[in-house]
Amino acid sequence: MSRVLEITVLSAEDLRIDRKSVKKNAYVTVKVDPFNYRTTRMEEQGGSYPSWNEKLEMDMSVNGNTQFIALEVNCRTSSGERRIGSARMPVTDFMGGYAPEGHLHLLSYRLRDERMQRNGIINVSVRVRVRGQRTSFRDVKSAERKTLPDYACSSQAVGYGVPAMERSYGGAVTGIPVWCAYQSKF
């Protein structure tokens, strides 16, 4: 059973090169391993606060050898390519645990430069799905959609989470209040 890592590189904050704000041309490389990586487009106008909002899909091994996903923010300057900062995203942040499979995780990580100094923040969303699995609630035929039971809590009912950006994702999101719906039979 093959898994696909859907990682959307959303944005970054307070990016600097040699303590000066980045002007343009920032991009992100996401690496599962040295041979399995993807790169976003170059953000030409975002400056120190670029926004990519770009979804990258990558194969994820099911043998469990991968412990971290590397996020590297780089910038093309007149003197060549420069690394702004990098972060290591633990796989345990979005696989296993209490979240159901296919759950959308919104995550932020502190970037560190080559001297291990703080150098901004990167914001991503991550979902792991089985290859061939649908990713949007709208892709499901109306007859296949689940109906809300008489009593359901988003933390207890898998598949009944709060819709997140339903246009492209659907499903449940981490980092928001838990809601409950109760219908009385009286």
**pLDDT by residue (tens digit) across 162-174?**
344 333 334 444 4
In Å, what is the CA distance from 21 to each residue of 110, 120, 122?
16, 10, 15
Instruction: Assess if residue 44 is contained within a domain.
Output: yes
Which ranges in 10-130 belong to alpha helices (H)?
A: none
Instruction: Assess if residue 92 is contained within a domain.
Output: yes
pLDDT mean across residues, the chain: 75
Which of the listed ranges 60-64, 90-94, 159-163, 181-185 does the model predict with the highest average pLDDT? 90-94
Average the pLDDT over each of 26-30, 49-53, 75-79 and give the range with the smallest value.
75-79
Which ranges in 53-154 belong to alpha helices (H)?
A: none
- Classify burial at 4, counting beta carbons within 10 Å of its beta carbon; exposed 0-12, middle 13-18, buried 19 or more: middle
Beta-carbon contacts of 74 under 8 Å, excluding residues fewer than 6 positions away, are 26, 27, 28, 29, 81, 82, 83, 84
How far apart CA 30 and CA 9 sit, in angstroms, is: 9
Number of domains in the chain: 1
Instruction: Assess if residue 171 is contained within a domain.
Output: no
Instruction: Assess if residue 157 is contained within a domain.
Output: no
Domain of residue 97 covers: 3-130
Dihedral sign computed on CA atoms, order 169, 102, 74, 121: positive
Instruction: Assess if residue 136 is contained within a domain.
Output: no
Cβ proximity of 74 and 82 under 8 Å? yes
- Residue 32's H or E segment, with its range, is strand 26-33
Rg value, the chain, Cα: 19
Say what the pTM is: 0.69
**What CATH number did the domain enclosing 32 receive?**
2.60.40.150
Tokens 């659907």 locate to 170
